[in-house]
Amino acid sequence: MKITDAKVIITCPGRNFVTLKIYTDQGIYGLGDATLNGMELAVATYLQEYCIPILIGKDPSNTEDLWHYFYRGVYWKRGSVSMTAISAIDMALWDIKGKVLGTPLYNLLGGKSRDKVLVYCHSNGTDLNDLIEKTGKDLERGFKAIRIQSGIPGISHTYGVPKDNKPYEPAGKGLPHEESWDTSKYLKYIPKVFEKVREVYGTDIHLLHDVHHRCTPVEAARLAKELEPFHLFWLEDPVSGELQEGLRIIRKQSSTPIAIGEVFNSVYDYTTLVTEQLIDYIRMPLVHGGGITHLLKVAAFASIYHVNTGFHGATDLSPVNMAAALHFDLVVNNFGIQEYMPHQEIVNEVFKVNYNFTNGYMVVDDTPGIGVDIDEKASEKFPYEKASLPVNRKTDGTMFYW
Interface contacts to Co ion, rule CB under 5 A: 210, 262
Taking the least distance from each CB to Co ion, the nearer of 90 and 262 is: 262
Length of the chain: 402
Decide which of Co ion, ligand EZ4, none touches 241; Cβ closer than 5 to 8 Å per partner kind. Answer: none
Neighbouring residues of 239: CB distance < 8 A, sequence distance ≥ 6: 211, 213, 215, 216, 217, 220, 246, 247, 250
Question: Is the Cβ of residue 109 or residue 190 nearer to ligand EZ4 in the bound state?
Answer: 190
The one among 33, 95, 138, 210 contacting ligand EZ4 by CB under 6 A: 210
Name the active-site residue from 122, 212, 327, 343: 212
Residue placing its CB nearer to Co ion in the complex, 103 or 183: 183
Q: For strands 308-311 and 335-339, give the pairing.
A: parallel
Backbone dihedral region of 212: left (phi > 0), alpha (psi from -120 to 50 degrees) or beta?
left
Options 21, 316, 330, 343; binder of ligand EZ4; rule CB under 6 A? 316
**Element spanning 383, H or E:** none
Cβ atoms of 319 and 372 closer than 8 Å: yes
Q: Who contacts 98 (Cβ-Cβ below 8 Å, separation ≥6)?
A: 104, 105, 107, 108, 368, 369, 370
Residue from the set 15, 21, 196, 212 that interacts with ligand EZ4 by CB under 6 A: 212
In this chain, which stretch among 23-31, 219-227, 290-298, 312-320 interacts with ligand EZ4, using CB under 6 A?
312-320
Judged by beta carbon distances under 5 to 8 A according to partner kind, the member of Co ion, ligand EZ4, none in contact with residue 74 is none
Strands 117-125 and 178-181: unpaired
> Any contact of residue 37 with ligand EZ4 (CB under 6 A)?
yes
What mask, x for binding ligand EZ4 by CB under 6 A, covers residues 247 to 266? ---------------x----
Residues in 334-393 at the binding interface with ligand EZ4, rule: CB under 6 A? 389
- 120 is a catalytic site residue: no
What residue number has its CB nearest to Co ion? 210
Closest CA to 333 of 371, 302, 367: 302
Chain-centroid distance of CA 135 in Å reads 21
* Cβ neighbour number for residue 39 with a 10 Å cutoff: 16
Q: Is 95 in the site for ligand EZ4 (CB under 6 A)?
A: no
Piece of the chain touching ligand EZ4 by CB under 6 A; list 41-49, 97-105, 310-318, 362-370: 310-318
Answer yes or no whether residue 269 interacts with ligand EZ4 by CB under 6 A. Answer: no
Q: Note if 231 is an active site residue.
A: no
Give SS3 for 35.
coil
Q: What positions carry a catalytic annotation?
A: 159, 212
